[in-house]
Amino acid sequence: MSSASDQRILELRSVSFSYSRQRSLIRGLSLSVGEGEFIGLLGANGSGKSTILKLGSGILRPSGGDILLWSKPLHTYHNRDRAKLISYLPQTLDIAVPFTVRELVSMGLYPYDIPPAMSVDSALDMVGLQGKASAYLTDLSGGEKRRTFIAMTLVQGAGLLMLDEPLANLDIKYQIELVRLLKTLRTEKNISVIMALHDINVALQFSKVILVKDGAMLGSGRPEEILTDSLIKDAFDVRVNIIRQADGVSYIHYGDNA
């Protein structure tokens, strides 16, 4: 199995961000993503997860601090060059044009003159939509539409996937299959993943968890180090019981609010 290396793909150094003169949404945040890392970006709604991913993917420019991609300032990359290295999936997937599934997934190939190894058909097969290639997005369920966008993200062929709540609207079956797929890509292709999520039990499956609240980091490390009852209480304002089994598998049982 490939493991995460010390080579840093993406670094955020003391990054801050605010819109105009509004209060800072991100405050002095520093984090890094290494090759082959599988990171869960965990926090409550409004904690800054989406903004962090937008900053890390180059959609937003920081108000302060530095963002480096392969040790080079992120903002110096041409859009197409950046898209070959980072594939970003937003949380909101509204699109008005009546594209078919195949047409939308093919858009993931836009950075390339010569397409990468993964074909559109392979990506559709990976997300279980091989029978929907000719269907229109407007005829899909919310979960099918999200899987279509995930396939577009995969076919882009980037070494770093930045995914904003990709499990939203997915049935449990497809949530499990997507996490399994991402783990396989990490193992076989050394792809790095940073995924925003708010489900603590899902976060237990990641090799590293970054816990955020109000645009600042509460902790970063292995799930068993970060997902403690005190840190979870601080981040989510909810009491939990952490059930650890002899085989190493843990579960979070939610209790009453304090």
Find where tokens 């005829």 sit: 139
pLDDT for the residue numbered 6:
67
Question: What is the percent of the chain where pLDDT is above 70?
Answer: 93
- Lowest mean per-residue pLDDT among 6-10, 241-245, 250-254: 250-254
Distance CA 168, CA 158 (A): 22
pLDDT tens per residue, range 214-241: 999 999 999 989 998 899 999 999 888 7
pLDDT at 190 over 80: yes
Q: 84 or 242: which carries more pLDDT confidence?
A: 84
In a domain, 202, yes or no: yes
Over residues 59-82, mean pLDDT: 96
User: Stretch 50-57: mean pLDDT, rounded?
Assistant: 98
pLDDT at 251: 66
Tell me phi and psi for residue 244, to 5 degrees: -110, 125
Q: Which of 5-9, 16-20, 36-40 has the lowest mean pLDDT?
A: 5-9
User: If you average pLDDT over every residue of the chain, what do you get?
Assistant: 90
- Which residues are paired to 6 by β-bridges? none
Edge-to-edge strands, sheet with 64-69: 26-34, 8-17, 64-69, 72-73
Instruction: Indicate whether 195 belongs to any domain.
Output: yes
Distance of alpha carbon 91 from alpha carbon 197, whole angstroms: 10
In a domain, 1, yes or no: no
pTM for the complete prediction? 0.90
Instruction: Report which residue type is found at 21.
Output: R
Kindly tell me if the per-residue pLDDT of 258 is higher than 60: no
Confidence at 249, pLDDT banded by 50, 70, 90:
low
> Which pLDDT score, from 0 to 100, does residue 54 have?
98
Quote the pLDDT of residue 2.
42
Per-residue pLDDT at 213: 96
Q: How confident is the model at residue 246 (pLDDT cuts 50, 70, 90)?
A: low
CB 39, CB 206: distance < 8 Å: yes
Two tokens, residue 221: 């490390």
Residue bearing the bigger pLDDT, 249 or 231 = 231
- Strand locations in the chain (E): 8-17, 26-34, 38-42, 64-69, 72-73, 86-89, 160-164, 192-197, 208-213, 216-221, 240-244, 250-254
CA–CA separation, 32 and 36 (whole Å): 12
* 255 has a pLDDT exceeding 70: no
For residue 22, give every residue at least 6 positions away whose Cβ sits within 8 Å of its Cβ, in sequence order, or none.
none
What is the count of structural domains for the chain?
Answer: 1
Which tokens sit at 55?
């900053």
Give per-residue burial for 91-112: e unless 16+ CB within 10 Å, then b.
Answer: eebeeeeebbbbbbbbebbebe
Domain that holds residue 32: 8-254
Is 171 inside any structural domain? yes
Does residue 3 belong to any structural domain of this protein? no
Asked whether the predicted pLDDT for residue 192 surpasses 70, the reply is yes
Within a domain: 40? yes
Stretch 139-157: mean pLDDT, rounded? 92
β-bridge partners, 195: 40, 163
For residue 234, give the CATH number of its domain: 3.40.50.300
Over 60: is that where the pLDDT of 8 sits?
yes
The pLDDT of residue 1 is above 60: no
- Tell me whether residue 246 is in a domain: yes
Give the closest residue to 8 by CA, choosing from 29, 40, 32.
Answer: 32
- Which residue in 180, 210, 247 sits closest to 30, CA to CA? 210
Please give the Cα distance from 111 to 167 (Å, whole number).
26
- Domain membership of residue 82 (yes or no) is yes
What digits encode the pLDDT tens for the residues 113-124? 877 767 899 999
Query: What mean pLDDT comes out for the span 65-83?
Result: 97
% pLDDT > 90, the chain = 69
Euclidean distance between CA atoms 194 and 50, whole angstroms: 11
Angle between helical axes of 172-189 and 142-155 (0-180°, round to 10) = 10
